[in-house]
Structures are given as C-alpha cells and as structure tokens.
Copies of this chain bind each other. A is one copy, B any other.
C-alpha cells in the first residue's frame, strides 16, 4: 500500500473482453464450466487467470445469485460446548462450500436481536441460532426471513422454522430417575447464571418435576450469579456443604464444568465419591470422563447437533420451497454411567 488509492480489481467484463465472449458467457464459464463449450470455458479461464480475476460475490448475490454464507448465532465461545456445535456445523457446511458468519450473543436477548438484524442484512442462505430468550422482535424477524432458519440446542420449544437439539427437560428428568433408582434421598442442586442460561433452567425443571413425581424433593439449591466454570462449581459445593443444615447425599450440577469443580472440592477435602457424596453433571465433556473417577453425566451430542443443523439447512436449500414444513430433529441424549453417582 503505497498510499495511492487501491487499484480496481479486474472485472468480469474485462475477462469477457479478453476471452472474446459476452459477459454473461464468461460468468457462466466461471461458475459452471459445463454450461458452455469446452473451448469457451478454457478461453475464459485463461483470461481470468491472466488477469488475476477474482469473482465478486457481493455483486453476484445482489443480482440474484445464490449466497454461500450462513449466519450462525451462538451465546458464547468461552466454553467447549458451543465450539463443538460450531465444529459440527463446519463439518457439513465446509464440504458444501458454505461459510458460517459468526455472531456471539453473550446470552443477551437485545444483543441477539441486533445480531439477527445484522446477519440478515447480508442476505445469507440460512441462519442457525442457539436462542437466548429471544425477543418477540427477534422471532418476527426470523419468521419473515425468507430463508431456512434452525434453532438449535433445545427441542422443548416452538420453533420458528426448524429446530435441532435434545430435550433438556427430558435430560434433567432422566438424571433424576437414575439418581432415585440408585437410592439417593437428599438431593441438592448447584447451578450457574440460570437467568441467562435458559436451557440449564429447563433441565432443573425436568429434574425437580421427576423428583416430586416420586415423592422426593430438592433439599438444597444454590444458584450462583456467574457464568459456569470449574472454580464456580468448586466454590459452590464448598458453600453448599458449609451452609446446609443436613448434608445432601447427591448434588446435581448445572453442567460438567461445574460438576468437575465439585469433584475437585471432594478430592481436596477427602470426601469419597460416590459413597460420602455423589455428583452428577451434564454434557459429557471429555474432561469429565478423563477424571480418575469418571463423571456421571448426560452426553449431549453437541457435534451431532451442529451437523444435523447444517444438514437441515442444506437439504432445505436443495429442495427449494417444496420442502416440508417446520420440523424438529431430536438427536437424543445418553446417560453416562460414570463412577461419581
């Protein structure tokens, strides 16, 4: 950059001129060489190479061509969970030549709404969103999007278009059933910033509903107003044990990060797992399974969710408007029988 104004990039019309064909023929040759004669295709490609031509998809998309961009809105990247989902999305999008355009909502509905607007203003081919208490304006935007929209993570919702995920209510319920069956009696819960993380709350609801149906209940609940982390879980368990009138015999944590923290507290305090205290988490993270005593938790198939979501978008794009109406894909969860509960 010598300070001069940037030299204009070569355009399609220049390529066409050199190749001695019309602009539209050059366009076709470059996009799908099978739609023109072999000779024509070669001439055009040579001209493009000679000029260092680089397609301008801005113009292409504006003129009505397809976009290969897909909006992706996730609440956070601080935690491996959504990185896994993103990986799953990439797995399928990359192969199809699509690119995620990323926005992080930070669990903030207002920010999420702004992101939806922002990403939609690029007229993407589709949108994948892990919703965070979406505003009604957000839902209205998505409903009128005019392209496929997939809401991911949770299937306990009324999707605007499609959704892919698991039943968090069901996951909480299943864990409650497992713990009841194991004979635990004094249940406690330790959670993180649950106002923002709606899905953790849904799990808790499923958990307590099942306890109550079995004539049991939570004897202690601690929710901490901060993002989930190992440290938060460790401190949380310390606090709960300190403050509880009667010690619980099992603690359900809002997720594996928190639960691993709980395990660490037990290790450092010589509380034996699961005899003296049992611990359960959610997600099935690798770290939980790599512990000396593997964590009892619920596997949440995060990568799978991403893959299925990408697949749903691509399928819909291929089918055009003849596609089936709103659908919900449940990838299912699995109870991981570790050694901590």
Q: Which residues of A contact B (CB under 8 A)?
A: 1, 3, 6-7, 9, 52, 54-59, 61-62, 68-69, 77-78, 80, 83, 86-87, 90, 94, 97, 99-104, 106, 117-123, 141, 144, 146, 230, 260, 264, 286-287, 290, 292, 321-323, 325
30 A-B contact pairs sorted by A residue (CB < 8 Å) = A1-B321, A1-B323, A1-B325, A3-B321, A7-B146, A52-B144, A54-B121, A57-B121, A58-B58, A58-B123, A62-B62, A69-B101, A77-B90, A80-B80, A83-B86, A86-B102, A94-B103, A94-B106, A97-B118, A99-B102, A99-B103, A99-B119, A100-B101, A101-B101, A101-B102, A102-B102, A230-B286, A264-B290, A287-B287, A292-B292
Q: Is the CB of B61 within 8 A of A58?
A: yes
Whether the pair B78, A322 counts as a contact (CB closer than 8 A) is: no
Cβ of A9 and Cβ of B146 under 8 Å apart?
A: yes
Q: Which residues of B contact A87 (CB under 8 A)?
A: 77-78
CB-CB under 8 A from A62, the residues of chain B are 56, 58-59, 62
With beta carbons under 8 angstroms apart, the residue of B9, B57, B146 that contacts A6 is B146
Question: 9 more A-B contacts (CB under 8 A) besides A55-B121, A77-B86, A101-B102?
Answer: A55-B117, A56-B123, A57-B121, A57-B123, A78-B87, A80-B83, A94-B103, A101-B101, A102-B102
- Give the nearest-CB partner of A83 in chain B: B83
Task: Determine the distance from Cα of A146 to Cα of B9 in the docked complex, in whole angstroms.
Answer: 9
Once the chains bind, are B120 and A54 in contact (CB under 8 Å)?
A: yes
Q: Is the CB of B101 within 8 A of A99?
A: yes
Contact A102–B100 (Cβ < 8 Å): yes
Which 3 pairs between the two chains have the least Cβ-Cβ distance? A83-B83, A77-B87, A58-B62
Contact at B118–A99, with CB atoms within 8 Å? yes
Cα-based distance from A61 to B60 in the complex (angstroms):
12
A179 to chain B, nearest CB (A): 25
- Complex Cα–Cα for A121 and B48 (A): 14
A292 to B141, CA, bound (A): 50
Q: Nearest B residue to A8 by beta-carbon distance?
A: B146
Docked complex Cα distance between A7 and B144 (Å) = 10
Q: CA–CA, A141 to B55, complex, Å?
A: 13
In angstroms, how far is the closest chain B Cβ from the Cβ of A176? 28
Q: Which residues of B contact A292 (CB under 8 A)?
A: 292
A87 to B83, CA, bound (A): 9
User: Within 8 Å CB of A123, what residues of B?
Assistant: 56-58
- What is the CB-to-nearest-CB distance from A57 to chain B, in angstroms, rounded to a whole number? 5
> Which residue of the partner chain B has the closest CB to A76?
B87
Note all chain B residues with C-beta closer than 8 A to A103. Answer: 94, 99
- Report the Cα distance A140→B289, complex, angstroms: 46
